[in-house]
Amino acid sequence: MDIQLVNSMDFGEFVDVLGNIIEKCPLIAAAIWSHRPFMNLADLEKHVFDFIDALPQSGKEGILRCHPDLAGRELQQGTLTPESQREQRGAGLSNLGPEERRRLGQLNCEYKARFGFPFVIAARLSDKATVMRELERRLHNQPTQELRAALEEVRKICHLRLEDILRSREDPAK
């Protein structure tokens, strides 16, 4: 769909279509609706990122806490959002060996214990080796540095999800 169609949506349609560009944070789409019309994807994305940047640290951490673990319980139980399901499967995280899954689970626990939010990476730009390597590397970051790195991944995930929506052919109004 094109940006004109997005601009023409009422609030309900807008949040239906864009509510999960930031995982499980429909508030962000609900907030930026006020800024329509958007010139293009970049303009819409800038409003999303400005909203996130203006949040207090607790809000930024809250966004990260809304993300499902990589290869975690939700992937096993099939309860991921459709976007997360596609992204995690695309990175090969749905067919880890038992030792890989154990190791990733252990690193995720260590990471969460250190930073207070789950490890987030743009899975579509990674594969399972990259995920493991980045998790091991970022585990040693300072908290402020890691909060910045994790939010940068949220931006990448958002950009890819927006590209899917704005380049998709289906027109939800039909």
157 is a site residue for ligand 2AL (CB under 6 A): yes
162 is a site residue for ligand 2AL (CB under 6 A): no
Binding segment for ligand 2AL (CB under 6 A), chosen from 25-33, 35-43, 97-105, 115-123, is 115-123
66 is a site residue for ligand 2AL (CB under 6 A): no
Q: Which residue among 68, 138, 146, 147 contacts ligand 2AL (CB under 6 A)?
A: 68
* Closer Cβ to ligand 2AL, 47 or 67, answer by number: 67
Give the whole-angstrom CA distance, residue 14 versus residue 5.
10
Binding mask 78-107 for ligand 2AL (x = CB under 6 A): ------x--xx-------------------
Residue 47 near residue 37 (C-beta atoms within 8 A): no
Residue 68 near residue 80 (C-beta atoms within 8 A): yes
Task: Quote the least distance from Cβ 166 to ligand 2AL, whole Å.
Answer: 18
Nearest one of 35, 59, 30 to 46, comparing CA atoms: 35
Token pair, residue 65, equals 């806490």
- Per-residue exposure over 40-51, b if at least 16 CB sit within 10 Å of its own CB, e if not: ebeebbebbbeb
Residue 89 near residue 118 (C-beta atoms within 8 A): no
Note if 67 is an active site residue: yes
Q: Which residues bind ligand 2AL (CB under 6 A)?
A: 67-70, 84, 87-88, 118-124, 157
